[in-house]
Amino acid sequence: MQGGNFDGLLFYQYDDQSITGDAGQYLTNNSGNVPDGGVVDFIKSNSTLAGQDTFTDMTQHRASFTGNWALSDYKLTSQTTYTDFAQSKVIDVDGLPYSAATADVVYNPETLQQFTQELRLASPDTQAIPFIAGVYFHQASYDTNYVDRDGGLIAAAPIRSLFPNVPDVFKQDGWSVAAFASASYDLTNRLRVDGGARVTYEEKEVDHSFAGNPSVNLSRDGTVVDGNVALLFDATDEVTTYVSYGHGTKSGGFSDAAAPAVSEVKDEVAESYEAGFKSLFNGGRLQFDFNIFYTEVTDFQFTQFNGAGFVTSNIDVASQGAEATARVFLTDDFQVYGNAVYSDARDDATDEVLERAPLWDAMFGAKYEHLYSGGAIRVDLNASHTSTLYNDPPKSGNPVIVAAVGDPITKLNASIGWTSPDERYELVLSGRNLTDEFNIAFASPDTCSLTCLPPEAYGPITQGRTVTLQGTLKY
């Protein structure tokens, strides 16, 4: 919508998804490698109750409105978003074929409502010190239950009827407000400095009942100051070199899978250093960027699944590496591109490789985009590669449980889409992981790890082939 000095964009998206089955793999050999033949059928997992399958049902509403006002040479932007998410799932905890006497299943419904509002003012780029400044508000409410049912269930009952409404066991409400600003200043005609700062105040409150105990009320609040600064030098008209420093904070909170007394999670604080260059040649038809980085994270929020729930703790970690990005336009309509990241992330205390942190990530692809009188056609084909992942399941008192190693994996993705000439309508058909490759998402002890010989670790696998048809209407 447009009018005079104003233009706006209203967006709404609705998702409704149902998944039958729960995919996983047992990891039992002493070397920690994935054994052959251990994959549970991706479409249909072990039946949980009387031949019925586990399931996940999810609905989500997302809406946003962005408005821009021209105020002389300045621009005022308002961005409002709202999200309403609901999910319920039944999980086959023991991974064993159904038995009325021994069935171990978990029912886990959860909801999330989230609202954000941002106002920002941008100055014209032509003034001596161009800047962006604004304020941001965020409010969220998260509610989840975690109900375990063991054995003795009525075999003939529909699976969804076995779990009546239960009191909330974890409900967290929180809000935050922030003020931010960034600016750029030319020291010479080739040397400039960019910088920014953000001050955030946050409050969180949780009602938490754990393992059937009475509910406990916990709260936390605090103010953090973050910022970044970069020095940039235009070595030539095509190449810009830079060094930068950043200080950032990820808010803490409470873990819903730990007893209230130990459930608080501290703020995560990162100090990042980076140096590199960005380049554009041949009128922008050839792009090549490269950087090296080092990041120290104090109180990194490290999450593991312990066989009963996800538990978050704080550890200190460090990551160092390099990243390269390239893009080449072979014609006006056709381009090839790629990105590769080497990152060595380790636990400071043990010097061990950080769990689920691959040493290499890479992606290469080709894109075709053609504009014509009827709109635009876009075709994208790419392959992503992730190197070996290390998964160290919590031992749950049994030190013999071995680590699980996820093999390197390469996935093929593709999409084809059409956009109308006025960009109001869009239709996209996309496919991810078209070759249906899988790997271990994470590892944990299974329910018999204290008694099984050899002890077992269990690893849910990553999502298989996914095909999506998406339509977008902007009004």
Within its chain, how far is the Cα of 354 from the centroid?
17
Q: Output the average pLDDT for the chain.
A: 81
- Find out whether 135 and 179 touch, Cβ atoms under 8 Å: yes
As a whole number, mean pLDDT of residues 397-425 equals: 79
Share of the chain above pLDDT 70, in %: 72
- Find out whether 379 and 415 touch, Cβ atoms under 8 Å: yes
The DSSP secondary-structure symbol of 161 reads G
Of 407, 413, 406, the C-alpha closest to 363 is 413
pLDDT at 176 over 90: yes
Residue 463 token pair: 């999502």
Output the pLDDT for position 24.
53
The DSSP secondary-structure symbol of 49 reads B
- Find out whether 127 and 165 touch, Cβ atoms under 8 Å: no
Of 26-30, 35-39, 313-317, the range with the highest mean pLDDT is 313-317
As a whole number, mean pLDDT of residues 152-179 equals: 62
Total-model pTM: 0.81
Q: Which amino acid is at 387?
A: S
Backbone angles phi, psi at 168, to 5 degrees: -60, 140
- Quick: pLDDT tens for 116-164: 999 999 999 989 999 999 999 999 999 987 665 554 443 333 443 444 4
Q: Which of 55-64, 105-114, 275-284, 373-382 has the lowest mean pLDDT?
A: 105-114
In Å, the largest CA–CA distance within the chain is 79
pLDDT at 449 over 70: no
| Tally of CB atoms within 10 A around 106 | 20
Query: Rounded to whole angstroms, how far apart are CA atoms 360 and 354?
Result: 13
